[in-house]
Amino acid sequence: MIDLLERADPARDLQADSVRLRAKVEERIGVSAPLRPGSIAIRRPWLVAAAAFVAVLAFGLPVLLRDQPPSVFAPDLDGIAAHPGVEEAVALASGGLQVMDTDGGTIWVMTTLQNLLQRISAESGEVEATYPIDARVEGVVAGGGSIWLISPDHGGEVLRFDPNLGVVDSTIPLGGAPGWSHWLGDALWVGTDQTEVVQISSDGEIVSTVPGDLKGGEGLGYLWVNDPGTDLISSLSESGEIGEIVIPTERGLDTMSGSGIRQVSEADGRLFLLDGDHPWGTNLNVFDPDSGDFGAFTGLTFGLLDLVQFDGYLWVTSSTDHLIIRIDPVTGEQRRYPMPGKTGGLVVADGSLWVTLFQTGALLRLDTGADLIESSPIVADDWNRFPHRLLCTGTGEATGPTVILQPSDWIDYGSMSVIQAKLSDEGHLACTNGYVQGETTPEQQAADLDEALGEAGIAGPYLLVAAVDGVHAVRLFADGRDDIAGVVLIDPMPVGFQDFYDELLPDYSGHPPWLDLDADVSASLDTFGSVPLVVIEQDPQAVFLSPNFLESPGGEAAEAVNQYWQDGLAFYSGLSSDARSLVADDSGLDMIIWDQPDLVVEQVLELADPS
Amino acid sequence: METESVAKQHSDPGHRFDPLFQAHYDAIYRYCARRLGVSEAEDAAADVFAVAWRRLDDIPDGSDRAWLFGVAYRLIGNRYRSRRRQIGLAARLRAVPGGAVASGPDPDQTRDEEVDLLLRALDQLSPVDRELLRLSAWDGLDRGEIALVLGISENAVDQRLHRARSRLKTRFSRLQSALSSIEPKEAST
């Protein structure tokens, strides 16, 4: 077969014309003034720094530019950069929410946690400069040669940032807390909580104030507002006129959360409007300006944050499910691509689609046409049972048990989406058991899983995969059952860990709530018997015995926590007579599912198909 | 003297680029031709080397070839996404004067049918499986290089390659069976 494949090579005897090819290369790099390799990204920071220095000397402007501040924030991007569909990953100044915009060649990202504005070259992916901003910023707009920072400070104001000098050179009071903001025509438009849209010219003057509730971005050449006079969705033109087009809804796209339109985008000559979350998901609506028709286009999942048009498709981010969803604007076909973290904002720059992972603090250039892993068709999705969700994907054509993925409660529901996609890709039926929001208990998790599987008609055998405090739910689920084919425990949290930790380290108890199991309940549960069990552990040196942890609570406490954790691992490994343990090198606590998803997938496949 | 020599190397990008181009231009061109057809292969290969020129300092020592294939892989996927599915690529190559398969009919008709069947089976695989098999069988990359190109571990390459070969074999057998069940009927009509 391999020989035949080699013989089938359609280019086996092709030969390139080296002279002609070399000439084409030289055309691209410019033979008359060849670029120095790698020199592009390092020029601008010096120019900007020098210009700012001159500006400060000459005009006494506030010094807002300084060297990039030291940061302990250093996300491990290796795993993220290697994720299918990610062409490159840029580390941002911190995690937390980011807002961003682009002028085409440069992406401007504001990390709201630390009030840092970052200038990133869309061509090279280099962070060219980082500017501390002396204000809280909730929106960034690029337009008119300036970067506009929308701030709730002082009752609402706009800071005009000069990208050449690297300084804020003007502040414009808004007269109300800002909401949506966008550049249209030659002006900045900012909605406020006074149901007004403020029009600001490129030289920083307020030109007009228009009544209306600004929602979303631009589409069909207009901005879109809820008209306070009619409460209908109406166009806002660049001349400030409202109502040239009125979308025939009975009212604005208000939802139960009252968030109205989340975003708008134009595609295929029509206007697509994403509304806010309903308990059962989110609607993407469509308005056809030619026919005047308006209606629901397709239903989507939860936690949708942004919507853009790129390469003929609509792209939506879902933070809840760690997804980027591609939607065909003609057929409505959806493709779901798992991403290695919570997805946030989207921009199109340098011919690429970019997305932030807002929890991790990373900006990703996506390779949208290449090797994205597509989630298999959804087999069962109980999203009507808000907030619980059982999301099953995969054809199930591969023999073997259904894989149940139980994420850690405090990390989030979508954290196993990459692993789920890879298992589905291998033909397995894989189901994530989790919660979109709300508090729960291991007992509730186990009961909901049992009920949802029954309703979906997905019978055993099951292969259980649990991360961190998800281990408690799968032990409860497996108790008394004879249809468990295997168990994989990733960083399993010891029973009683929360109480132990909080008592030992009361000054460090500000962690997210962990799920725990009562010691008596734990003792009453069956072991896994002879069911194959794999325990995947983090490298202990990388967590509790790391310099960072040792320096904080102190060596003795760190040793005690580590010992408790190691005892817990020994306990879990003793739950089956057919158990083995693996150490995931270079992976910190709770990070194995992101750092080494392939390791987890390998172990699951091995248990699912021992032959 | 050694210091000066090293300094000269870094100040003269051509010093590294020229041997890189000479060593790999043909392989990169053929890689592009297999996925895009001959008519677009030269431009795509030129784009790959233009990226290499700009990022010479990023190219890891000893992994030149894999790095270039990685750039080609992403570049083709990105820029030519609308043409990713290369169904009928072999036919297109045949139609191009000077193309490998256009160099003349193969005297061995049986082998031609087998090859066509295999290419059809290959087209039925997932994009990832196809790419793995092509990188291995056509581009001659080893597991470490494939891992670098696709951004996955070497172990994952081994496992996926094993499964991809198995799937190809299954699809090929199915097509053979389907063909053999059709041929007698056609013969009888």
User: Which positions in chain A touch B78 (Cβ < 8 Å)?
Assistant: 87, 351-352, 367-370
At residue A173's C-alpha, the angle toward residues A263 and A130, to 5°, is 70
| Distance separating alpha carbons of residues A426 and B129, to the nearest angstrom | 11
Q: Which helix (H) or strand (E) holds B145?
A: helix B143-150
> Nearest C-alpha of chain B: how many angstroms from A418?
14
pLDDT score recorded for residue B5: 28
Mind listing the pLDDT tens digit for each residue in B90-113?
Answer: 332 322 222 233 233 333 444 577
**pLDDT average, residue stretch A540-544:** 68
pLDDT score recorded for residue A370: 58
pTM summary value: 0.57
Beta bridge partners of A529: A576
pLDDT score recorded for residue A173: 96
- Residue A373 and residue A421 in contact, taking contact as beta carbons nearer than 8 Å: yes
For chains A and B, CB pairs below 8 A equal: 157
At residue A187's C-alpha, the angle toward residues A183 and A189, to 5°, is 60
- Residue A588 and residue A542 in contact, taking contact as beta carbons nearer than 8 Å: yes
pLDDT score recorded for residue A251: 66
Mind listing the pLDDT tens digit for each residue in A253-288?
Answer: 655 445 567 789 999 999 999 876 555 567 888 999
Residues A147, A153, A157, A160: what is their CA dihedral angle, to the nearest 10 degrees?
A: -20
Q: What percent of chain B has pLDDT over 70?
A: 70
Whether the per-residue pLDDT at A226 is higher than 70: the answer is yes
- Pairwise CB contact (< 8 Å): B53 & A11: no
> Nearest C-alpha of chain B: how many angstroms from A254?
37
**pLDDT average, residue stretch A303-313:** 87
Whether the per-residue pLDDT at A549 is higher than 70: the answer is no
- Among B122, B121, B133, B37, which Cα is nearest to B80's? B37
pLDDT band at A8 (very low <50, low <70, confident <90, very high): confident
- Pairwise CB contact (< 8 Å): A14 & B172: no
**pLDDT average, residue stretch A16-26:** 82
Whether the per-residue pLDDT at B89 is higher than 60: the answer is no
- Pairwise CB contact (< 8 Å): B34 & A11: yes
Q: What ipTM does the predicted assembly reach?
A: 0.77
- Pairwise CB contact (< 8 Å): B81 & A27: no
User: Which positions in chain A touch B47 (Cβ < 8 Å)?
Assistant: 28
Mind listing the pLDDT tens digit for each residue in B13-72?
Answer: 557 788 899 899 999 999 988 887 787 788 889 888 888 887 787 788 888 899 899 888
pLDDT score recorded for residue A151: 92
DSSP, residue by residue, A235-293 = EE-TTS-EEEEE---SS----TTS--EEEEEEETTEEEEEE--BTTBEEEEEE-TTT--
Name the residue facing B152 among A311, A370, A598 (closest C-beta). A598
**pLDDT average, residue stretch A196-220:** 91
Q: In A414-554, which ranges are continuous DSSP H helix?
A: 417-425, 442-456, 471-478, 497-504, 519-524, 547-551
User: Which positions in chain A touch B150 (Cβ < 8 Å)?
Assistant: 371
Mind listing the pLDDT tens digit for each residue in A494-508?
Answer: 999 988 888 887 776
Mapping DSSP onto H, E and C, the string for A38-94 reads CCCCCHHHHHHHHHHHHHHHHHCCCCCCCCCCCCCCCCCCHHHHCCCCEEEEEECCC
Query: By mean pLDDT, which of A13-17, A217-221, A435-439 is the weakest?
Result: A435-439
Name the residue facing A11 among B81, B93, B169 (closest C-beta). B93
Backbone angles phi, psi at A570, to 5 degrees: -65, -40
DSSP at A529: B
Beta bridge partners of A246: A234
- Pairwise CB contact (< 8 Å): A37 & B152: no
Q: Look up residue B56 and give its two tokens.
A: 């010479």
- Pairwise CB contact (< 8 Å): B55 & A371: no
User: Which positions in chain A touch B152 (Cβ < 8 Å)?
Assistant: 82, 598
Nearest CA in chain B to A13: B100
User: Which positions in chain B touch A367 (Cβ < 8 Å)?
Assistant: 74, 77-78
Residue with tokens 């468990």: A484
The string over A511-542, giving b where at least 16 C-beta atoms fall within 10 Å of a residue's C-beta and e elsewhere, is eeebbbbeeebbeebeebeebbbbbbbbbbeb
User: Which positions in chain B touch A87 (Cβ < 8 Å)?
Assistant: 74, 78
| Distance separating alpha carbons of residues A108 and A363, to the nearest angstrom | 11
* B189 Cβ contact partners less than 8 Å away, ≥ 6 residues apart: none
Burial of A168 (0-12, 13-18, 19+ CB in 10 A): buried
**pLDDT average, residue stretch A552-577:** 88
pLDDT score recorded for residue B113: 77
User: Which positions in chain A touch B77 (Cβ < 8 Å)?
Assistant: 367, 369-371
Mind listing the pLDDT tens digit for each residue in A115-160?
Answer: 899 999 998 889 999 999 999 888 999 999 999 999 988 999 999 9
For chain B, what is the mean pLDDT? 70
**pLDDT average, residue stretch A214-234:** 86
Residue with tokens 């960072």: A548
Name the residue facing B165 among A1, A16, A352 (closest C-beta). A1
Amino acid at residue number A92: L
pLDDT score recorded for residue A219: 93
pLDDT score recorded for residue A384: 54
The string over A446-457, giving b where at least 16 C-beta atoms fall within 10 Å of a residue's C-beta and e elsewhere, is bbbbeebbeeee
DSSP at A378: E
- Pairwise CB contact (< 8 Å): B122 & A82: no
Backbone angles phi, psi at A226, to 5 degrees: -85, 115
pLDDT score recorded for residue A14: 84
> Nearest C-alpha of chain B: how many angstroms from A53?
30
pLDDT score recorded for residue A484: 97
Name the residue facing A38 among B56, B103, B137 (closest C-beta). B56
| Distance separating alpha carbons of residues A553 and A273, to the nearest angstrom | 50
pLDDT score recorded for residue A490: 94
- Pairwise CB contact (< 8 Å): B25 & A367: no
Query: By mean pLDDT, which of A72-86, A414-428, A520-534, B128-142 is the weakest?
Result: A72-86
Collapsed DSSP state (helix, strand, coil) of residue A117: strand
pLDDT score recorded for residue A64: 24
Whether the per-residue pLDDT at A235 is higher than 70: the answer is yes
Query: By mean pLDDT, which of A89-93, A289-293, A541-545, B168-172 is the weakest?
Result: A541-545
Residue with tokens 């299954």: B170
DSSP, residue by residue, A209-241 = EEESEEEEEEETTEEEEE-TTT-SEEEE-TTS-
Mind listing the pLDDT tens digit for each residue in A452-480?
Answer: 898 888 899 999 999 999 999 999 999 99
Would the CA dihedral through B134, B138, B143, B144 be positive or negative? negative
User: Which positions in chain A touch B131 (Cβ < 8 Å)?
Assistant: 371
- Pairwise CB contact (< 8 Å): B152 & A367: no
Name the residue facing B118 among A5, A25, A369 (closest C-beta). A5
* A39 Cβ contact partners less than 8 Å away, ≥ 6 residues apart: none
Name the residue facing A1 among B55, B74, B169 (closest C-beta). B169
| Distance separating alpha carbons of residues A131 and A120, to the nearest angstrom | 12
pLDDT score recorded for residue A404: 97
| Distance separating alpha carbons of residues A283 and A262, to the nearest angstrom | 10
pLDDT higher at A439 or A106: A106
DSSP at A105: S
User: Which positions in chain A touch B29 (Cβ < 8 Å)?
Assistant: 14, 16, 21
- Pairwise CB contact (< 8 Å): B122 & A8: yes
Could you tell me the maximum CA-CA distance found in chain A, to the nearest angstrom? 79
- Pairwise CB contact (< 8 Å): B57 & A368: no
Whether the per-residue pLDDT at B183 is higher than 70: the answer is no
Whether the per-residue pLDDT at A541 is higher than 80: the answer is no
| Distance separating alpha carbons of residues A354 and A369, to the nearest angstrom | 13
- Pairwise CB contact (< 8 Å): A35 & B46: no
pLDDT score recorded for residue A365: 92
User: Which positions in chain B touch A10 (Cβ < 8 Å)?
Assistant: 33-34, 89-90, 93-94, 99-101, 119
Nearest CA in chain B to A26: B50
Going from the C-alpha of A51 to that of each of A66, A166, A202, A266, B1, the distances in angstroms are 12, 8, 21, 39, 39
For chain A, what is the mean pLDDT? 81
Site from B10, B29, B141 to mutate, A interface, most A CB atoms within 10 angstroms: B29
> Nearest C-alpha of chain A: how many angstroms from B4?
19
pLDDT band at A41 (very low <50, low <70, confident <90, very high): very low
Half-sphere exposure in the Cβ direction for A172 (13 Å, CA): 22
Residue with tokens 């809280």: A136
Site from B16, B38, B74, B129 to mutate, A interface, most A CB atoms within 10 angstroms: B74
> Nearest C-alpha of chain A: how many angstroms from B188?
31
pLDDT higher at A37 or B189: B189
